[in-house]
Chains A and B, each alone.
Chain A
């Protein structure tokens, strides 16, 4: 009952339990932070818009994305994963979300940025519903902590639209 392995086992269990408690306490401090993020997205250009051979619509956009997510960082933040999704409704689907771009913000000083980019991921519909389609561009971010609970939030920017005809 007092052999080395029993004691090592008890010590290890105790250590892991204390570690887990400390991680939980660290995570609770994240709730004290009230982020005030800002974001703005513009579609600078619609590069092309066509129907694929398999019948799905696809469009290529150039986007200007500006955001200030510095207030989402806490001492317990490892990185913030940010992505921009186009969200729209079609006759068959109540919600379509297509991620167009994403990035990792590793530190607070990089959390204020403005970039211009074409969509990193292809904007392909499930079907041929995009002509004249109105859609929202929503900037989502996930705060990934050094330990503990992850937080996610978003800013919805409505009012974007696609042309009536392919080009």
Chain B
């Protein structure tokens, strides 16, 4: 009874946002006090180039986990775009982690607080999943 409307909403979101991953749950506390663990972010994957200040969701090569951070530096080539992402405190592995457009799933355009906590609880405590 719940699964069908949930699936419909999910597919509709995928169509309207143009992203494979239209909704993301914030898993880490690195974006506080803006976003807390358990918030849900709505993503939009438009063709506009990414600019500084936008909050983007991206996957590092070889990793499955999506990371949410704010863009601090952009160097947009005349042919492709190259980006540098830093949080306010953390730089990855001493060297800065430059991202290309292919790493980025989408940019955050809106959010719902707390709703994602259910997902976190379900994935972290398997007994409740049943």
Contacts and interface: CB of A to CB of B under 8 A. Distances in A.
Is chain B a partner of chain A in the same complex? yes
A136 interface: no
Query: Which of B53, B78, B111, B115 has the largest number of chain A CB atoms within 10 A?
Result: B53
Interface stretch (A43-51, A66-74, A91-99, A157-165): A91-99
B11 interface: no
A16 B116 CA distance: 11
A116 interface: no
Given A13-B2, A142-B53, A20 B34 contact: no
15 contacts: A13-B1, A20-B115, A23-B112, A81-B70, A85-B53, A93-B75, A93-B77, A95-B74, A96-B75, A121-B86, A142-B53, A149-B110, A150-B108, A150-B109, A150-B111
Interface string B66-96: 0000101111111000100010100000000
Nearest to A17: B5
B99 to A, nearest CB: 14
Nearest to B1: A10
Query: Which of B2, B75, B76, B77 has the largest number of chain A CB atoms within 10 A?
Result: B75
Contact of A81 (B34, B82, B109, B112): B34
Contacts, number: 81
Contacts of B15: none
Contact of A97 (B33, B70, B74): B74
A20 B34 CA distance: 19
Interface string A101-139: 010101000000000000001000010000000000000
A79 B51 CA distance: 20
B110 A148 contact: yes
Interface of B: 1-2, 33-34, 49, 51-55, 70, 72-78, 82, 86, 88, 108-113, 115
Contacts of B109: 149-150
A41 interface: no
Interface in A1-58: 9-10, 13, 16, 19-20, 23, 27
A152 B2 contact: no
Contacts of A102: 88
A144 interface: yes
A149 B109 CA distance: 6
A122 B33 CA distance: 23
Given A83-B53, A147-B113, 16 more contacts: A16-B115, A83-B52, A93-B77, A95-B76, A99-B53, A102-B88, A106-B33, A121-B73, A121-B86, A140-B52, A142-B55, A147-B111, A148-B110, A148-B111, A150-B55, A152-B53
B34 A19 contact: no
Nearest to B39: A147
Contacts of A20: 112, 115
B34 A144 contact: yes
